[in-house]
């Protein structure tokens, strides 16, 4: 059952994404003001949503780990952080591609773009820090602390960048909605969700396999009746 699900997730996810591509590129009528470039939104927005979902997963696992240390929870946190970085990277890249025809520049210090980028740097830093801790238990605890700080930072950066830019003019995304747009966005979001869950799942499996090589078996060697001092 679990095995079947693990195979079905990517199959369903990528098939839906293929259909989603047709929906977004051909089926949905072009947006009135923004034209063709706005179609990038159908992959950009789901990617950013998955990034947030995975960062919540990382925060939750980090919090959980500090309350009850377990290498499984740490593996989940690691998977969450890496998949978050992946989808965030895709999201920022697509966002800046969209910005070029829309605003004339790839980068304009838009609060959302900026704060998401800062957040990704924070997660990249956390993943880098993990590489330099050999002891698996200490690595797990340190990354749990970093995960909580990264989440706090994401919130603070968002508010400060938004505040910072409130003096400049704030560009807004198209607000007009129609049923086809909503449906395609939802369709793609579910496609991304299935792919994201599959990624996290596979990454978690990989992380657990790595830990099996790093951590001694749960039971120490030797017979129980060890000769202690009387």
Partner 1 sequence: MSGGWARPGLLRSALVVLQKDLLIEWRTRARLNALVFFALSTLLLFSFALGPDTRLLGRSAGGYLWLAIMFSSVLALGESFRVESENAALDGLRMLPVDPKAIFLGKAAGNAALLMILSAVLVPVTLAVYDVRALLGLPKLAGVLALGCLGISAPGTVYAAITARSRAKDVLLPLLLFPILIPALIAGSKAATLVLHGDAMNELGSWTGLLFGFNVAYWSLGVILFPSVIED
Partner 2 sequence: MSTPPQALAIDAVDLSRRYGTRWALARISIRLEAGQSLLLTGHNGSGKTTLLRVLAGAVPASTGRASIFGMDVAKERATVRQRVGLLTHSSYLYDDLSAQENLLIPARLLGVPDPPARIRELLQQVGLEGRAQDAVRQFSAGMKKRLSIARLLLKEPALALFDEPFGELDPGGIQQMESVIRALQQRGTTVVLATHLIEQGQSLCSQRLHLEGGRAAAA
Stretch that binds partner 1, among 47-55, 136-144, 170-178, 187-195 (CB under 8 A): 136-144
CB 204 within 8 A of CB 79: yes
Q: Residue 193 CB: number of other CB atoms within 10 A?
A: 17
Give yes or no for residue 118 binding partner 1 (CB under 8 A): yes
Range 32-91, binding partner 1 (CB under 8 A): 66
Q: Supply the minimum distance, in Å, between the C-beta of residue 100 and partner 1.
A: 25
Q: Is 157 in the site for partner 1 (CB under 8 A)?
A: yes
Please, which residue, 134 or 169, has the CB nearer to partner 2?
A: 134
Of partner 1, partner 2, none, which one does residue 227 interact with (CB within 5 to 8 Å by kind)?
Answer: partner 2
CA distance 114 to 118: 6
Using CB under 8 A, pick the residue from 21, 133, 136, 190 that binds partner 1.
133
- The single residue among 160, 193, 201, 211 that binds partner 1, judged by CB under 8 A, is 160
- Does residue 108 touch partner 1 according to CB under 8 A? no
Which of 25, 106, 109, 138 contacts partner 1 by CB under 8 A?
138
Cβ 203 to partner 2 shortest distance, Å: 22
- Where does this chain touch partner 1 (CB under 8 A) — which range of 30-38, 116-124, 168-176, 213-221? 116-124
Whole-angstrom distance, CA of residue 57 vs CA of residue 76: 8
Q: What is the Cα 151 distance to its own chain's centre?
A: 12
Nearer residue to partner 2 within complex by CB, 182 or 215: 215
Which residues of the shown chain bind partner 1 in the complex (CB under 8 A)? 66, 118, 121-122, 125-126, 128-129, 132-133, 138, 141-142, 144-146, 148-149, 152-153, 156-157, 159-161, 163-164
């Amino acid at each position: 059952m679990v095995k079947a699900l693990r195979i079905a997730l990517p199959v369903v996810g990528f098939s839906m994404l293929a259909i989603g591509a047709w929906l977004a590129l051909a089926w949905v009528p072009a947006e009135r003001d923004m034209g063709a470039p706005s179609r990038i939104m159908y992959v950009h927005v789901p990617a950013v949503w998955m990034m947030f979902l995975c960062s919540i997963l990382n925060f939750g696992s980090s919090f959980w780990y500090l309350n009850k240390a377990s290498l499984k929870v740490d593996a989940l946190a690691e998977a969450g952080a890496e998949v978050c970085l992946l989808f965030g990277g895709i999201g920022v890249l697509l966002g800046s591609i969209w910005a070029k025809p829309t605003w004339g520049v790839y980068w304009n210090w838009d609060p959302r773009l900026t704060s998401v980028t800062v957040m990704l740097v924070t997660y990249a830093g956390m993943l880098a820090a993990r590489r330099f801790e050999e002891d698996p238990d200490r690595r797990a605890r340190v990354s749990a602390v970093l995960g909580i700080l990264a989440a706090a930072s994401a919130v603070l950066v968002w508010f400060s960048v938004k505040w910072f830019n409130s003096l400049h003019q704030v560009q807004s995304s198209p607000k007009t909605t129609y049923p086809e747009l909503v449906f395609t966005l939802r369709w793609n979001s579910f496609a991304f969700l299935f792919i994201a869950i599959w990624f996290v799942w596979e990454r978690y499996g990989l992380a657990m396999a790595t830990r099996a090589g790093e951590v001694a078996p749960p039971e120490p060697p030797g017979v129980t009746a060890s000769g202690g001092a009387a």
